[in-house]
Amino acid sequence: MDERRRFRIVGLLIRLAVVGGAYYGSARLGLELSLVRGSVTPLWPPTAVAVIGLLAGGYGVAPAIAAAAFAVNEPMSSTAAAVAIAAGNTVAPMLTVYLLRRVGFRRQLDRLRDALALSAFALIGMGVSASIGTTALYLSDEISSGRYLTTWLVWWTGDAMGVLIIAPFAWSLWSLRPRRWRAPNWQRLGEGAVLLAAVGVMSYFIARSETPLLFLILPMLVWIAWRLQQAGAGSAAVVCSVIVTIAAVNREGLFGEETLLHRMGVLQAFNTAVCLASFVFAAAVTQRREEGDALFLREHRIAETLQRSLLPDTVPHVPGIGLHARYIAASSESDIGGDWYDIVALDRNRVALVVGDVIGHGISAATAMAQLRMALRAIASECENAHDVLQRLNRLVLNLYPGVIATVLYGEFDVVKRAFCYANAGHPPPLLITDHEAFFLEGGVRPPVGVSGDVDYVDTRVELEEDDTVVLYTDGLIEQRHEPLDARLEMLRRVALEGPSGLEERCDHITSVLLDQGVTDDVAVLSFRAMSMAGESLTLKRPTMPATVADVRGILRRWLTDNGASDREAVEILAACGEAHTNVVRHAYSTTSGTVEIDASIVDGSEVALV
């Protein structure tokens, strides 16, 4: 016998021993509540053991169930009757498990369909054991024909309630097993203990009252199922059902003056209601919450995909300016927002730099962000200054997207003059970092776009020196719960000044320090730097339009100045390139459109430009 086969046999024997022992032990406990012949009880835990064992260990554990059932019944019945009862007690849970597997039953009971399937198939399957067992007792003359129906009802009630009350309780306990150590939630445990104690006290006094108040317990079970789901619902159902069943067996309170048939009818109705109010309702709550979580995650992924697809794929290379951008999505526990950044090369050697944040979260915010981003791109190409861009964007939002509100910082950097001109619509202030200091550019702040049509946005102009850096960002970088905004802004200023000098390295340093407690909101960071073009080649591609001649002249003059060309050299090169560029526009492409390319580089210490 090989090792694998020996291992399988040992595993099967262990399962048989565990299931058989649990069945026999729970049967001896259940017999304490017997109502008919000392063997028929209104709550029979072994059926739960059988169903749990068959679902977990397969049909191979059926012999252990049959043997344990025979061992329990043989001392109380004839051998023939004990064999028949054992067969019924084995076939019934096997039928229940077969039906459960056919519908894809999950023991977590996290779907309403699982709870309803368990309820229906337990009642169906246990009808088989009740029918076989009662018939066996009748044929062996152990009960009379007048007690057949009563015995059958007690048997069916006990077997069904064993499954419906005990099995969910056992599965809920198994679900609480620690997969890895973590500190217990004492508040949750305390709440559960108080609620279970309340259920026990209510059940005890109501079950022993002669006033028919039994079903007043159900609202408490519903509340526990809502608050604690299956873990609390299963425990509460066991406590409530056991206490009421003991009262019925002892003919106490409401059950004192009634016949056995009536007591079993009331008990079965009550236990069924307990099942519906506890684990069935808990399954519905769990399913609803999981569906809500799944919907949230789906919406989050859609919004994030939409948002990322609309952000620039790469940061463009523009002579005279260094650029770096970073977008960090919020964690999956948080709604995605409407943050964005954009970089657009404009005419007259300008680069548009934008950061914005649509107020709100989810797909609606991401969609509004996409609309505003595209609108702003179109508007920027037609306007002469920053405040006009925001003025037109505000009117567009008010007219076409009522209800949308967004903070926007729009700026234009002139790479020739090294001037940054911006307008601010309710956005956090840009941070300017020089060689020796860092400070916020707080001028010209106006309300967000979409708030009011009576807003006049203004331009603020800042002259930058070589290697000066400006950082634009959204509020997700600086806002942190329970921390003052001024303190966070000061932290950003200090961290940016003390961090590495490289654009990318500084951005990494800023985000790692300010977001060390996690990303609770989307973050967009856009930083740029006034760069020298000394020692670099210059390649320009422009459409063959007359307006581009002046643009090329301006950027070429800056390149010549940065590379140390004398005034005379600059004048000669600019004149020659300007003449060549003009001839291309006027003569080569006078009737058609095309592209003119200018390459400038240092060759043997001299500036060379090729048109």
pLDDT in tens, 285-317: 777 887 777 777 776 677 667 666 666 767 778
For residues 283 and 319, membership in a common domain is answered with no
**The pLDDT of residue 411:** 95
The runs of H, that is alpha helices, within 348-446 are 363-380, 386-400
Average pLDDT of every residue of the chain: 83
C-alpha distances in Å from residue 202, one per residue of 157, 170, 393, 529: 23, 23, 64, 72
For residues 205 and 82, membership in a common domain is answered with yes
State which of 98-112, 414-428, 471-485 shows the largest mean pLDDT: 414-428
CATH of the domain at 605: 3.30.565.10
Which of 530, 559, 580 finishes a domain?
530
246 vs 377, which has greater pLDDT?
Answer: 377
**The pLDDT of residue 10:** 77
For residues 87 and 224, membership in a common domain is answered with yes
For residues 275 and 348, membership in a common domain is answered with no
Residue 406 near residue 450, CB atoms below 8 Å: yes
- In this predicted structure, the answer to whether residue 576 has a pLDDT above a threshold of 60 is yes
Burial class (CB in 10 A: 0-12, 13-18, 19+), 593: exposed
**The pLDDT of residue 112:** 83
- In this predicted structure, the answer to whether residue 227 has a pLDDT above a threshold of 60 is yes
For residues 134 and 209, membership in a common domain is answered with yes
Give dist(CA 440, CA 480) in Å, integer: 19
Residue 561 lies in a domain: yes
pLDDT, one tens digit per residue, over 313-324 is: 677 788 889 999
Residue 304 lies in a domain: no
Section 258-283 average pLDDT: 75
Confidence band for 333, pLDDT divided at 50, 70 and 90: very low
CA neighbor of 376 nearest in space, from 349, 407, 402, 403: 407
Residue 315 lies in a domain: yes
Residue 583 lies in a domain: yes
For residues 486 and 543, membership in a common domain is answered with no
Which of 509, 530, 551 finishes a domain?
530
pLDDT, one tens digit per residue, over 33-74 is: 665 555 567 778 899 899 999 998 888 899 999 999 899 888
Domain count, the chain: 3
pTM over 0.75: no
For residues 353 and 264, membership in a common domain is answered with no
574 vs 139, which has greater pLDDT?
Answer: 139
State which residues form the domain around 172: 11-176+186-293
Section 492-503 average pLDDT: 90
Residue whose tokens read 């056995």:
260
Section 85-110 average pLDDT: 90
Which of 489, 514, 530 finishes a domain?
530
- In this predicted structure, the answer to whether residue 209 has a pLDDT above a threshold of 70 is yes
CATH of the domain at 472: 3.60.40.10
What do you get for the CA distance between the two ends of the chain, in Å?
A: 87
For residues 563 and 499, membership in a common domain is answered with no
Residue 181 lies in a domain: no
For residues 268 and 193, membership in a common domain is answered with yes
C-alpha distances in Å from residue 470, one per residue of 41, 191, 313, 356, 404: 81, 53, 21, 16, 28
H/E segment holding residue 542: strand 538-543
For residues 276 and 336, membership in a common domain is answered with no
Section 101-122 average pLDDT: 86
Residue 85 lies in a domain: yes
For residues 280 and 376, membership in a common domain is answered with no
Structure tokens at 532: 């020298």
**SS percent in the chain: helix, strand, coil, step 5:** 60, 15, 25
- In this predicted structure, the answer to whether residue 424 has a pLDDT above a threshold of 60 is yes
**Dihedral over Cα of 374, 379, 381, 384: its sign:** negative
Residue 6 lies in a domain: no
Residue 524 lies in a domain: yes
For residues 32 and 84, membership in a common domain is answered with yes
